[in-house]
């Protein structure tokens, strides 16, 4: 096409001047329909592969319904490129919002199946309308038909912005840098847990009145750690667990019976000590101030 | 009216218009009425089927933007290890992203397609920078509240559950609905789904901004510069990139505004664009209260200016006399029409029937700020010290200078743009209403000096920058960058824009929040660390969810979200539980407060006695010495629950201790 083409053309003339071939199908609509059918299938069949679910779920929420709706309600040539992309995204997201509000009032609510069927249904219905509309427009009907045909053709005349080899290489390099950057950022954030810690807890085991307690130790230290846990009742040792060894992320749990409730006040205290390979005497274990963690129950 | 008339009559110079529409030769004076080519027809004829390297230099700038993000990440890492070069790397990376793109946009010859690519690249690059700050989970204050709302939707399959962190969050569920849809269908985590949804929303926002500004200024150059300058608003880089309802509401609102303006110029697509307006308005109202009200306010302003323009005496509009009466009428009759009523009715209906809590949520913030400002003017209170946090840390001198310079540069630029719009755009009610909107900016600055109104002032910037960016872009494009092939002027413009941009980041996000680093007391994202997260997860798995718990601000975020607990806050239940934590001993008053709140568990964090609270409060607004703490909390006050009969110390991880006070408060 010559770039100094006269500007005062009707849409029909302009489309003809472009020389673009009429497409009997729209690849975008085909993709939207494919997503609209595959997403409910993936959900119903229980596909668990996250990449597959995301590959069909993301466009179903963010692009497909809007693209199909705009294909049928916005067929004119004046909307193309970035504008059509914005309309497709904006309409998709807003359709998702309104679909969610509607699903809230249904008995089955907002579930994966209801979501995928509803959004897929909107997409397929809109795509069907768009296809029927285009067939109708493409049908020859005298002068009016010519105009319709021209509009239809022009709808599909958005130019393809091809990338040269150098540009493709640069974009690939940018994408690689971004992927590497995200990886580094995650690595850096993970390293923030350099200061380890340990959690200890004591809860009633569930019986009322409580005669058994649940004790737990969870290690978030940076290395394997050895602990000693001592349970005292009214200041006297009731039970001691002397070799609890936990790797980072590991949890230890036990239950202990405490004296039955006879109406007198009672204090049960569990103290956790870090052994770190050293033997601890009974005197050490009686030292409350030396405890690494402690929990306490009153009755 | 043909768009060619507007193209010729309204903005810019012939060179720019030609750059905007290569292949179209427009004369400097308006086209005669005999040439009826529309903008769309022009575009149709000028475009070849295939454009080799049609993205111009976009790939090159994509590499520089990616490198910028890499350097920003190094800066974040430097912050975590407290390296001296952390800030240098952060700002170096940000400028590596911002400056080259700004220079390219400032050049007149840059084609429209490349401009769209560049501003999309910048918008997404800035969003990526926010994600790189916390790439594993949401860590910003509001993100926990919205995570909770989304988790509740996924758990119950229904909307409008109770949210103890920010109750109104559940009443504006657009973001949560879309995120839940993606999480449900894809089986991904809320974090991944939220990040992807907001990435798409960010792209929509940038495109909608560009297309809206293009309608207002009738120039791709003005549109791209205005979009760029909008990104300099203090909340664009971080606050409006977080997982919060406003982050999706703004794109919806801008999408509505773009579609509302565009539908008046495209007869062949009017139905679709009207549908887009209806959908966008219907989605923005349940997305975010302030954004919906700002949209209504702007539409009302636009309608008012449209009426004013129509009623203005003949010749007032300043349109070239060569224009036909039809063309003149089309320009003068541009207005939002029925959309104003629609937006108003839906907003009011939602407020009355669904989100009545909003009034009680917003009123204290607005009135608190205004009343404090009045007392400030009357000399009854002392102004908040700018750039100093409540733990006493003052921002570096260069940051303070950049922050002030940013505001001054905006204030200096506004008059030029306003005069230009008055002279050349006053026939267009849209451009005129944007100019009027920009006048609100100076008034909003006063609240920055108040403790209660500072946040309100900051939160207006994402709305006010729409008109501000347009006015500044008109000034820059038509008064400074109008000479083609000048390199010096684009460079000076880029420096000016960079200072506004950097100052915006500094004003919107203080250094302690902007940069990752060691734990700080009551410092939102800087207080989110493994101990608090582990305690919240422990509570959920070992104790169960839905327990009423009293605790400090930060652990409240974690317990209310990851922990699934019912965190009891004064703001929402009027209990003043913060007062339980400050006395050194647990007296009858404190026990009665716990009983009135039916509190089952109390969480204390021993780290609160180590520092002053960076945000001015340890627990919540209304606590003793709100915004006025001069010494850290008394350690005895934190440890007072130990050894009290009837209180069980059930959990200890060194800093965080959880007590079961159910026996004392008779809570179930």
CB contact under 8 A, B516 and A180: no
Summarised one tens digit per residue, pLDDT across range A230-286 is 999 888 888 888 888 999 999 999 988 887 767 777 888 999 998 876 777 777 777
- Shortest distance between the Cα of A252 and any Cα of chain B, in A, equals 13
% of chain B at pLDDT higher than 70 = 87
Same domain, B502 and B640: no
Summarised one tens digit per residue, pLDDT across range A113-149 is 999 999 999 999 999 999 888 888 776 655 444 444 4
Q: Which two tokens stand for residue B48?
A: 């070849």
Residues of chain A neighbouring B42 (CB-CB closer than 8 A)? 7
Q: Are B93 and B72 a contacting pair, CB within 8 Å? A: yes
pLDDT given for residue B459 in this prediction: 81
pLDDT given for residue B596 in this prediction: 87
The values of phi and psi at residue B163, to 5°, are -115, 115
Nearest CA in chain A to B171: A101
pLDDT given for residue A81 in this prediction: 85
- Asked if residue B260 belongs to a domain, the reply is yes
pLDDT given for residue B178 in this prediction: 97
Same domain, B499 and B563: no
Q: Which two tokens stand for residue B129?
A: 């920078």
- Asked if residue B67 belongs to a domain, the reply is yes
Best probe of the B interface among A20, A21, A61, A122, by most B CBs < 10 A, is A61
pLDDT given for residue B147 in this prediction: 96
Nearest CA in chain A to B211: A83
Tally of domains in chain B: 2
CB contact under 8 A, B185 and A39: yes
CB contact under 8 A, A87 and B647: no
pLDDT given for residue B371 in this prediction: 79
Select from B121, B122, B131, B113 the least CA-distant residue to B191.
Answer: B131
- Boundary (domain end) residue, out of B467, B485, B514: B514
The values of phi and psi at residue B325, to 5°, are -65, -30
Same domain, B495 and B549: no
pTM of the model: 0.87
Question: Residue B440 class from Cβ within 10 Å (0-12 exposed, 13-18 middle, 19+ buried)?
Answer: middle
- Asked if residue B566 belongs to a domain, the reply is yes
Same domain, B490 and B532: no
Which residue among A74, A115, A220 sits closest to B184, beta carbon to beta carbon? A115
pLDDT given for residue B376 in this prediction: 75
Which residue among A56, A169, A193 sits closest to B530, beta carbon to beta carbon? A193
**Host domain of residue B557:** 524-665
CB contact under 8 A, A101 and B59: no
pLDDT given for residue B269 in this prediction: 78
Divide the 668 residues of chain B into consecutive groups of 10 and give the mean pLDDT of each group.
Answer: 38 40 34 34 42 74 96 95 94 95 91 93 96 94 95 94 90 96 94 97 97 91 95 93 95 95 81 92 94 94 88 68 63 74 93 89 78 77 75 85 92 93 86 92 79 76 94 91 80 93 91 92 92 95 92 94 87 74 90 89 94 91 86 92 88 94 79
Same domain, B501 and B593: no
% of chain A at pLDDT higher than 70 = 80
- Shortest distance between the Cα of A224 and any Cα of chain B, in A, equals 17
- Asked if residue B203 belongs to a domain, the reply is yes
- Shortest distance between the Cα of A23 and any Cα of chain B, in A, equals 13
Best probe of the B interface among A48, A82, A171, A271, by most B CBs < 10 A, is A82
CB contact under 8 A, A58 and B252: no
Q: Which two tokens stand for residue B239?
A: 């606050």
Helices B289-311 and B245-262: angle between axes, nearest 10 degrees: 20
Residues of chain A neighbouring B39 (CB-CB closer than 8 A)? 78
E-only strand ranges, chain A = 160-162, 198-204, 212-219, 225-233, 236-246, 251-257, 267-274, 293-298
The values of phi and psi at residue A199, to 5°, are -110, 140
Nearest CA in chain B to A73: B272
Summarised one tens digit per residue, pLDDT across range B164-206 is 898 899 999 999 999 999 999 999 999 999 999 999 999 999 9
Which residue among B63, B160, B258 sits closest to A173, beta carbon to beta carbon? B63
Same domain, B557 and B409: no
- Shortest distance between the Cα of A175 and any Cα of chain B, in A, equals 8
Number of inter-chain CB pairs under 8 A, A vs B: 371
Best probe of the A interface among B24, B55, B181, by most A CBs < 10 A, is B181
- Asked if residue B473 belongs to a domain, the reply is yes
Select from B425, B212, B414 the least CA-distant residue to B309.
Answer: B425
Which residue among A83, A97, A197 sits closest to B177, beta carbon to beta carbon? A97
Beta bridge partners of A216: A201, A253
Q: Which two tokens stand for residue B630?
A: 């001069």
Residues of chain B neighbouring A11 (CB-CB closer than 8 A)? 41, 44, 268
Same domain, B240 and B343: yes
Q: Are B610 and B593 a contacting pair, CB within 8 Å? A: no
Select from B466, B460, B471, B462 the least CA-distant residue to B432.
Answer: B471
Same domain, B449 and B544: no
pLDDT given for residue B268 in this prediction: 74
User: HEC states along B215-270?
Assistant: HHHCCHHHHHHHHHHHCCCCCCCCHHHCCCHHHHHHHHHHHHHHHHHHCCCCHHHH
- Boundary (domain end) residue, out of B468, B489, B514: B514
- Shortest distance between the Cα of B254 and any Cα of chain A, in A, equals 10
pLDDT given for residue B438 in this prediction: 93
- DSSP percent split of chain A into helix, strand, coil, nearest 5: 50, 20, 30
pLDDT given for residue B322 in this prediction: 61
Task: Give just the sign of the alpha carbon dihedral A92, A95, A101, A102.
Answer: negative
Nearest CA in chain A to B184: A112
CB contact under 8 A, B45 and A14: yes
Q: Are B289 and B359 a contacting pair, CB within 8 Å? A: no
Q: What is the CATH number of the domain that holds B658?
A: 3.40.50.12610
- Asked if residue B163 belongs to a domain, the reply is no
Same domain, B228 and B248: yes
**DSSP code of residue B394:** B
Select from A26, A25, A22, A53 the least CA-distant residue to A40.
Answer: A53
CB contact under 8 A, A73 and B275: yes
Residues of chain A neighbouring B542 (CB-CB closer than 8 A)? 201, 203, 216
- Asked if residue B279 belongs to a domain, the reply is yes
In the block, tokens 């608090």 appear at B532
This model of the complex carries an ipTM of: 0.87
Which residue among A50, A74, A186 sits closest to B269, beta carbon to beta carbon? A74
Which residue among B49, B174, B534 sits closest to A18, beta carbon to beta carbon? B49
Same domain, B467 and B493: yes
CB contact under 8 A, B255 and A171: no
- Boundary (domain end) residue, out of B461, B492, B514: B514
Same domain, B332 and B409: yes
**DSSP code of residue B315:** T
- Shortest distance between the Cα of A281 and any Cα of chain B, in A, equals 23
Same domain, B504 and B532: no
- Asked if residue B12 belongs to a domain, the reply is yes
């Amino acid at each position: 096409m010559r770039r100094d083409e006269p500007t005062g053309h009707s849409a029909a003339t302009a489309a003809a001047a472009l020389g673009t071939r009429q497409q009997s199908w729209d690849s975008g609509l085909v993709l939207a329909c494919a997503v609209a059918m595959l997403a409910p299938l993936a959900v119903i069949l229980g596909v668990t592969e996250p990449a597959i679910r995301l590959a069909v779920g993301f466009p179903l929420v963010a692009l497909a319904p809007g693209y199909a709706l705009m294909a049928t309600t916005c067929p004119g040539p004046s909307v193309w490129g970035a504008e059509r992309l914005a309309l497709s995204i904006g309409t998709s997201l807003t359709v998702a919002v309104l679909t969610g509000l509607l699903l809230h009032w249904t008995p089955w609510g907002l579930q994966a199946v209801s979501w995928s069927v509803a959004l897929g249904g909107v997409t397929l219905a809109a795509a069907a309308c768009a296809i029927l509309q285009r067939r109708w427009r493409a049908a020859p009907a005298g002068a009016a038909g010519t105009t319709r045909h021209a509009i239809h053709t022009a709808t599909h005349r958005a130019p393809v912005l091809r990338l040269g080899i150098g540009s493709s290489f640069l974009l690939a390099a940018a994408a690689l840098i971004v992927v590497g950057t995200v990886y580094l950022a995650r690595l850096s954030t993970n390293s923030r847990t350099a200061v380890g810690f340990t959690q200890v807890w004591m809860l009633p085991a569930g019986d009322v009145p409580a005669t058994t307690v649940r004790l737990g130790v969870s290690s978030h230290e940076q290395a394997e750690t050895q602990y000693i846990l001592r349970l005292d009742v009214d200041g006297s040792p009731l039970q001691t667990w002397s070799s609890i060894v936990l790797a980072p992320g590991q949890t230890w749990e036990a239950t202990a019976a405490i004296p039955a409730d006879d109406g007198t006040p009672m204090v049960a205290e569990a103290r956790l000590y870090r052994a770190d390979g050293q033997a601890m005497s009974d005197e050490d274990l009686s030292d409350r101030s030396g405890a690494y963690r402690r929990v306490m129950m009153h009755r | 009216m043909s768009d060619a008339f507007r193209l010729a009559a309204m903005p810019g110079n012939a060179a720019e218009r030609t750059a905007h529409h290569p292949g179209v030769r427009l004369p400097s004076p308006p086209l005669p009425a005999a040439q009826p080519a529309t903008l769309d027809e022009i575009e149709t004829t000028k475009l070849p089927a295939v454009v080799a390297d049609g993205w111009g230099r976009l790939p090159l700038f994509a590499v520089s933007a990616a490198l910028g993000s890499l350097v920003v990440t190094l800066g974040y890492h430097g912050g975590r290890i407290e390296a001296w070069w952390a800030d240098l790397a952060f700002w170096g990376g940000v400028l590596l992203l911002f400056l080259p793109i700004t220079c390219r946009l400032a050049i007149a010859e840059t084609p429209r397609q490349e401009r769209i690519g560049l501003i999309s690249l910048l918008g997404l690059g800035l969003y990526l920078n926010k994600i790189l700050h916390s790439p594993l989970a949401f860590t910003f204050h509001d993100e926990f509240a919205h995570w909770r709302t989304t988790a509740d939707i996924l758990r119950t399959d229904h909307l409008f559950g109770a949210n103890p962190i920010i109750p109104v969050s559940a009443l504006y569920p657009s973001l949560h609905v879309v995120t839940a849809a993606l999480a449900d269908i894809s089986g991904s985590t809320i974090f991944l789904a939220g990040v992807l949804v907001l990435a798409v929303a960010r792209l929509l926002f940038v495109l909608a901004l560009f297309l809206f500004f293009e309608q207002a200024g009738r120039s791709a150059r003005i549109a791209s510069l205005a979009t760029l300058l909008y990104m300099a608003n203090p909340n664009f880089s971080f606050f409006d990139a977080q997982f919060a309802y406003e982050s999706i509401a703004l794109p919806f609102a801008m999408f509505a505004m773009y579609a509302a303006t565009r539908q008046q110029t495209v007869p062949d697509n009017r139905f679709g664009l009207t549908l887009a307006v209806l959908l966008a308005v219907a989605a923005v109202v349940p997305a975010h209260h302030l954004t919906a009200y700002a949209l209504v306010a702007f539409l009302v302003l636009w309608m008012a200016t449209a009426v004013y323009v129509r009623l203005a005496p003949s010749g007032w509009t300043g349109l070239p006399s060569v224009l036909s009466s039809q063309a003149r009428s089309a320009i003068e009759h541009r207005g939002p029409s029925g959309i104003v009523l629609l937006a108003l009715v839906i907003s009011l209906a939602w407020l009355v029937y669904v989100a009545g809590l909003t009034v009680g949520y917003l009123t204290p913030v607005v009135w608190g700020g205004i009343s404090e400002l009045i007392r400030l003017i009357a000399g009854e209170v002392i102004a908040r010290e700018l750039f100093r946090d409540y733990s006493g840390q003052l921002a570096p001198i260069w940051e303070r200078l950049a922050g002030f310079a940013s505001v001054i540069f905006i204030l200096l630029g506004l008059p030029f743009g306003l005069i230009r719009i008055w002279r050349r755009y006053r026939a267009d009610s849209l451009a005129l209403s944007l100019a009027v909107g920009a006048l609100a900016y100076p008034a909003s600055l006063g609240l920055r000096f108040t403790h209660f109104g500072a946040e309100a002032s900051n939160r207006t910037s994402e709305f006010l920058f729409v008109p501000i960016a347009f006015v500044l872009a008109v000034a820059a494009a038509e008064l400074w960058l109008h000479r083609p092939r000048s390199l010096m002027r684009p460079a000076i413009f880029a420096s000016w824009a960079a200072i506004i941009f950097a100052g915006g980041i500094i004003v919107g996000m203080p250094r302690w929040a902007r940069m990752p680093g060691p734990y700080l007391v009551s410092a939102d994202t800087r207080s989110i660390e493994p101990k608090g997260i582990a305690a919240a997860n422990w509570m959920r798995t070992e104790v169960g969810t839905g327990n009423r718990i009293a605790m400090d601000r930060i652990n409240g975020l974690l317990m209310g979200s990851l922990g699934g607990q019912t965190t009891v806050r004064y703001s929402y239940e009027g209990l003043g539980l913060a007062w339980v934590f400050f006395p050194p001993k647990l007296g009858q008053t404190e026990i009665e407060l716990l009983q009135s709140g039916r509190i089952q568990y109390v969480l204390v964090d021993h780290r609160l006695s180590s520092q002053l609270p960076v945000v001015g409060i340890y627990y919540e607004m209304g606590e003793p010495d709100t915004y006025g703490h001069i010494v850290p909390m008394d350690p005895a006050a934190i440890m007072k629950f130990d050894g009290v009969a009837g209180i069980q110390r059930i959990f200890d991880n060194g800093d965080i201790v959880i007590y079961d006070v159910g026996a004392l408060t008779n809570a179930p």
